[in-house]
Amino acid sequence: MKKLLALLVTGALAAGVLSGCGAGGGDDKVIKVAASATPHAEVLEQAKAILSEQGYDLQKKSKELAVLLDEYIKHNFEPLTAKFLDCFLAYCEKISQMQEQGEKGAIAYLHFSVLKTNILLKKHEIRMDAYDENWYLDSVECSGSYPVEEFYSYLECYGDIVEDLRRKSGGMVSLTETQRRVFEESNLYLFYIAEMIRVGMRKAVREEAYQKVLRAPCFTVCIGGFLDRFDILYKEDRTQKDSAEVKRYLQSGNKKVFRYEICENLDLSEGNYEGLEFQYASFAGCDFTKSSWEKSKLVFGNFQNTVFTDAKMEKTKIFDTDFSGAKLERVSFAGAKLKYISFANATLCRVDFSKALLAEEIDFKGARMIECRLP
């Protein structure tokens, strides 16, 4: 998991999460402060020359701090995860206690919120709220907090630099502009926090404190601004589904990318899933006999105890996906790229990996392999 998070955050940097700071090309001497329209942009153009003469390079500082945070997370991943679990499971205890006392019903949404006022006040914590199916209209508050000073201490350093630039700009850069720049920069740090929570949830769901919480059939964990847009971090869907309807939905052609689809213990055999991308999907217990997945992408997937007999997996790209306990027979991964994959305790019979790229951490622990071909 340490390598998983490291790859995620490194990929985010490369993909342009730092685009607000000018990553992805150009002169690394350019100072970029948030200014979307004149006259602010013109003023900042004048300020840049002055600030450059004083030895300030805001864009470079942004990158340096991001690298420091990246390194810190990679070297402290386990204690950071443990801290999240302790905090989150204690919050789960609070929720279940309120439910036992009849104060809360089944939880449908658990929202991690970032408050802009906390950023300005240097109060390094994320708010947690548990809602019923009415979501924001839930009349009974159940909140908690998740301390994130390890992440936001780097943002605080960035904010101090921006404020110093404002003071030395001779009034050309306003307080509003510097605050907006800090808010924009905070999106990067929120990404790190979100990935920490996303990974931590995989462990949390196995804990008794979490299991005690009464959850709605559709349960979603998300993160974003308070009463604002959000991103899903974890999802449960225990509603009953029809195999034929799910297969039609996946093959309809209306969507190419599926996120957090939960379709478990279904017969999805003989399906054509070529060229589709599944992110954080769970197909545990499904039968994919004679299905075709050519050129598909599986990212952070759960395919535990699935059946892949005579399935076509050529040219697939599979990252951090769990096939533990699965049964694969007469399956070809020719031209496929696999990284961080678990085939633990799986049965693999005549599976051909000979022309596949097996990158880091392919786990065959406890797997039964019969007449398989490896690279």
User: Residue 226: what pLDDT?
Assistant: 67
Mean pLDDT within 139-146: 95
Q: What is the pLDDT of residues 40-54, one digit of tens each?
A: 344 444 444 444 555
pLDDT, average across residues 209-236: 89
The residue behind tokens 């036992």 is 100
Mean pLDDT, rounded, of the chain: 84
Using DSSP, state whether 373 is helix, strand or coil. strand
Which of the four pLDDT bands, split at 50, 70 and 90, describes residue 176?
confident
User: What confidence score (pLDDT) does residue 22 get?
Assistant: 30
**3-class SS of residue 139:** coil
> Pick the residue with more confidence: 69 or 373?
373
Q: Give yes or no for residue 287 having a pLDDT over 60.
A: yes
> What average pLDDT does the segment 281-302 reach?
96
Residue 2 has pLDDT above 90, yes or no: no
- What is the predicted pLDDT for the residue at 123? 87
In terms of pLDDT, which residue wins out, 158 or 147? 147
Confidence of residue 228 (pLDDT cuts 50, 70, 90): low
What sign results for the dihedral spanned by CA atoms 169, 172, 173, 175? positive
Task: Give mean pLDDT, residues 248-259.
Answer: 92
Name which of 62-66, 197-201, 227-231, 369-373 the model is least confident about: 227-231
Span 213-238, average pLDDT = 88
Architecture of the domain delimited by 240-370: 3 Solenoid (2.160)
The token duo for 55 is 């030895």
Report residue 55's pLDDT band, with 50, 70 and 90 as the boundaries. low
Q: How confident is the model at residue 56 (pLDDT cuts 50, 70, 90)?
A: low
CA gap 101, 328 in Å, rounded: 48
Q: Which residue has the higher pLDDT, 263 or 14?
A: 263
What average pLDDT score do residues 348-360 get? 92
- Which of the pair, 226 or 333, is modelled with greater confidence? 333
The DSSP-derived string for 220-289 is EEEEEETTS-EEEEEEEE-S---HHHHHHHHHSSS-SEEES-B--S-B-TT-B-TT-EEES-B-TT-B-T
What pLDDT does 19 receive?
30
pLDDT of residue 11: 41
Res 334 pLDDT > 70: yes
pTM equals 0.75
Average pLDDT for 217-233: 85
pLDDT tens readout for residues 85-141: 999 999 999 999 999 999 999 999 999 998 888 888 888 899 999 999 998 899 999
Q: How many other CB atoms are found less than 10 A from the CB of residue 51?
A: 21
Residue 179 is predicted with a pLDDT of 85
| Domain range summary for the chain, segments of one domain joined by + | 2-234, 240-370
